[in-house]
Structure 1
Amino acid sequence: MDLLSFGQPLYERYLAWQITRSATRTPEHVALILKETDLLEHKGIEKLLAALLIFKRFKVELVSIYVDILKADQPVKTEIASTLGNRLEKSFIDLPSGTGYEICGLEGEVKSSRQGKDFLVYVSLGFGGRGEITRAVTSILKEVKAGYVRPEDVDEKMLESHLLIKHEPDIMIRSGGQKLSDFLVWQSVYSELYFTDVNWNNVRKIDLMRVIRDFQKRQRRYGK
């Protein structure tokens, strides 16, 4: 069933009215944490596309998606990442014009991308935050060794400039569990967290709208 048409139309209209009438803005950057099985299941990617349209409808500008590939065997992880990358690239063609995307593999390398104007989707296939920070530090060390950067000039802003994702998510969504994954470790330090026990294959349109409404009701403290 299409996620966009699933649920209770009257209640959906009520939620949409609450969201659009709220004086608080909707999140600009949403991070979504999934398992590889969520997308490999029947209509898993179709549901993801529908979710992206919902976020876009409510003025989200960037959706960062981390696909947690749980298999320990590296060849298997590589095969899964390749399969998902190919499927996502074919499916993202159906996203509205003006939508850009970037799909990155296990080592953070860009597998495919498209420029966009008003909406961007970033997908990390198993490349987590610890690896991202390690790569950023290694890159800075090379610049120091080459004499391009002085050690005393290394600071937080420089590290952030070497990260793959420069933007901090407003809210991180984890379905089907109560634990965060290794994703956007640096960027998410002040992000709002939203956990739901509902597995991804059971997430409905109204569930995603509730996330947006919940975000609007929170008072962000940014670590204070």
Structure 2
Amino acid sequence: MGLYDAYLSVRHRLHDGTPPTHVAIVITERDLLADGAFETLASTLRWGFEYGAERVTVSVSVLDPAVVPSLVREFRRLDAPHPMSIRGPDDTEPADAPIRVNVGLGGKAEFAAAVRDLAGDVDAGEIGPEEIHEETIADRLVFPAEPDLVIKTGAERLSDFAIWQSVYAELYFTDVNWRDFRRRDYLRAVLDFQDRQRRFGR
């Protein structure tokens, strides 16, 4: 660890603010196709748990559905610090592991599927419309947990990430490209989170 990274690490350790317990990292398929991208991801996952996270979600936005199987294979080979749940665009089973990976399942599609599922239950008489609440919808999502901090590299856009779950998340955008993302960049995001006063929409 370099001197500057060590300085940031000490700042984090001495900071009064609570670190994020659920961190989401939003990257693109192009990010992961670059040389060394999965090594960077493995390091970032370790940093997440090292600096206070109890859960890390990785969301990969995909333009070409044909790359999904190869990306999933690479994730399965990843040297991750904790068990992973990997879900693709056709999966409906909720992800439940310390590391949750979304490959190509957009937030709009995930929300629409949850609404269709609920509509089917209403049509079958299994649930009444008045019984549908926020928790009812959240329970039908593939990625139901709400992140505290969302980190997006390279550009200031969320790429259709978790439109329901991230409504109260703190967003951190960095112009550092994924291939150049280092420990110091992750720590800057965590320190920025610790410096903020969360309002949860208020």
The offset of 1:63, in angstroms, is 1.2
Please state whether the residue corresponding to 2:57 is helix, strand or coil. Answer: strand
Please name the residue that 2:42 is paired with: 49
Which amino acid letter does the alignment assign opposite residue 104 of structure 2? G
1:69 aligns with 2:62: yes
1:189 aligned to 2:182?
no
Residue identity opposite 2:185 in structure 1:
D
Decide which of 134, 142, 147 is 2:120's aligned counterpart.
Answer: 142
- In structure 1, the gaps of 5 or more residues are 72-76
Q: Identity over aligned residues, as a percent?
A: 36
TM-score, with structure 1 as normaliser: 0.85
1:10 is the counterpart of 2:14: no
Matched with 1:198 is 176
| Residue 102 of structure 1 pairs with residue 80 of structure 2 | no
RMSD of equivalent CA atoms: 1.5
The residue number in structure 1 matching 2:107 is 129
Q: Deviations over 1:86-127 (max 9, x none)?
A: 111011xx323xx121111122356xx8x85xxx11111110
State yes or no: 1:163 paired with 2:141: yes
**Length, aligned pairs only:** 201
CA distance in 2, matches of 1:89, 1:141: 34
| Matched residue SS, 2:83 | strand
TM-score if structure 2 supplies the norm length?
0.94
Contact 1:106–1:125 under 8 Å retained in 2: yes
Q: How far 1:128 moved relative to its partner? A: 0.9
- Cα distance in 2 for partners of 1:108, 1:28 equals 25
Contact 1:108 1:132 in 2 (8 A): no
Aligned-pair CA distance for 1:70: 2.1
